Amino acid sequence: MLNAILVLVSWFLWITLAVLFLFGIPILIVDSFVDLSWVANQTSMTVIWSFSIMFAIFVFATQVVIRQLRKIFLTLIEGDPFVPENAKRVRTIWMVLFGFEVLNMLFSSGILVAKQTFGDLFLGLEGELHINWVLWLAVIVLVVLAEIFNEGAKLRLEQKLTI
């Protein structure tokens, strides 16, 4: 059941990413020749593109996390989740979350700097730098869990090779 939900979410995200690229890339090309200010309304195309790229990275990061979760879940179904691969998967998950949040903070601070430098280019955009404490806490918890998992997997292997 959980696996099926994860598959659905995964597919939804792939479709979103596909739609983003299918419509986004032509707009980028057209934008070079035609004035698309009506699309942008009060926000510049630069802002739209910055957000699109961030969104694409977000979808990709979520995809990676969901894929890892699915693989962990499959080992759970098979009845042997304490394998070294799962420790690596949990490690991948926290690294992706960590990387994405750092990127997000860089993006937000980039907007702040750009807004101060260019002003008009970032009309209607609220650039604020805030620390997502819940996410950072989740990253710390996952780091600890990954290491525990790693030790557990080592013990499991040792137990498996004890005759």
Residue 162, interface with another protein (CB under 8 A)? Answer: yes
Residue closer to another protein, measured from CB, 16 or 150: 150
State the number of binding residues for another protein (CB under 8 A): 5
Residue closer to another protein, measured from CB, 82 or 122: 82
Integer angstrom CA distances of residue 91 from 101, 152, 159: 16, 14, 23
Residue closer to another protein, measured from CB, 141 or 157: 157
Least Å from the CB of residue 8 to another protein: 39
At 33, the amino acid letter reads F
| Binds another protein by CB under 8 A, chosen from 35, 120, 126, 158 | 158
Q: Are 105 and 129 in contact (CB under 8 A)?
A: yes
Residue 161, interface with another protein (CB under 8 A)? Answer: yes
Separation CA 70–CA 129 (nearest Å):
33
Q: DSSP 3-state assignment of 126?
A: coil
| Contact stretch for another protein (CB under 8 A) within 16-24, 63-71, 144-152, 154-162 | 154-162
Residue 157, interface with another protein (CB under 8 A)? Answer: yes
- 99-119 burial, b for 16+ CB within 10 Å, e for fewer? ebbeebeebbeebeebbeeee
Nearest to 153 by CA among 77, 75, 74, 64: 75
Residue 163, interface with another protein (CB under 8 A)? Answer: yes
Tokens describing residue 132:
């997502």
CB count in 10 Å sphere of residue 32: 8
At 158, the amino acid letter reads E
| Contact stretch for another protein (CB under 8 A) within 4-12, 18-26, 137-145, 155-163 | 155-163
Least Å from the CB of residue 154 to another protein: 10
Binding site for another protein (CB under 8 A): 157-158, 161-163
